[in-house]
Amino acid sequence: MATAISSDRMLVFVPPHPLIKHWVSVLRNEETPCAVFKNAMAELGRLLIYEASRDWLPTISGEIQSPMAVASVEFIDPREPVMVVSILRAGLALVEHASAILPATKTYHLGFQRDESTLLPSLYFNNLPNKFPEGSRVLIVDPMLATGGTIVAAMDLLKDCGVENKQIKIISAVAAPPALQKLSQQFPGVHVYTGIIDPDVNENGYIIPGLGDAGDRCFGT
């Protein structure tokens, strides 16, 4: 497991797996067709969620009878589901395999629209509960951490639901320094798992080199 940026405030992981490099490369290519792009986003999400869930899931142990003998076993505790929070639209693709990988999940959605002149997010959909049960583990799935406006707004909503920063892991396809700096300054203790860290964000809020508009490319709009 590679740690790209590490401080006492935040950890950013870029898992050094060739499949992660492969799917990021497919996403970057402007000639990748929409259906292939969406599938690449879903596969990248599968790998990043797998890495993020390492050492994070509560288990229950016991004994079961196999066809051959009694065996000691460990299962994921279904009483403590991971609360998955997907940021619309492209989060839908990155989160596609979450419930297949994680045996116990509840999935919520947040919809933000970015004002193209101010680059500020405005919330148009939110089905988070008023409070999450104490100690809930939360996985936020936001493909593009660019200026940081959207992820900061999502983190503020989770804080209002009583979730501690150290209980939150963020999954993203591409992350850029402005968003990572805001997360580190405002939400110490949060963990980020990303496919790659890119160097820049342009004046329109797009990550450079990035992959363009992730939502448009997933859904062909």
Residues of this chain that interact with ligand URA (CB under 6 A) are 144, 146, 205-207, 210, 213-215
Smaller CB separation from ligand URA, 85 or 146: 146
Which residues neighbour 120 within 8 Å (Cβ) at sequence distance 6 or greater? 114, 149
Give the C-alpha separation, 105 to 126, whole Å: 18
Beta strand 144-145 with 3-6 is unpaired
Smaller CB separation from ligand URA, 42 or 82: 42
Smaller CB separation from ligand URA, 14 or 83: 14
Tell the smallest beta-carbon distance from residue 145 to ligand URA (Å).
Answer: 8
Nearest to 164 by CA among 132, 130, 125: 132
Give the C-alpha separation, 148 to 119, whole Å: 10
Give the C-alpha separation, 121 to 153, whole Å: 8
Give the C-alpha separation, 168 to 163, whole Å: 8
Tell the smallest beta-carbon distance from residue 14 to ligand URA (Å).
Answer: 17
Smaller CB separation from ligand URA, 144 or 180: 144
Smaller CB separation from ligand URA, 165 or 172: 172
Beta bridge partners of 88: 111
Tell the smallest beta-carbon distance from residue 134 to ligand URA (Å).
Answer: 33
Tell the smallest beta-carbon distance from residue 205 to ligand URA (Å).
Answer: 6
Smaller CB separation from ligand URA, 74 or 203: 203
Give the C-alpha separation, 115 to 217, whole Å: 19
Tell the smallest beta-carbon distance from residue 81 to ligand URA (Å).
Answer: 28
Assess contact for 142 and 154: CB atoms under 8 A.
Answer: yes
Give the C-alpha separation, 64 to 103, whole Å: 19
Tell the smallest beta-carbon distance from residue 56 to ligand URA (Å).
Answer: 27
Assess contact for 41 and 195: CB atoms under 8 A.
Answer: no
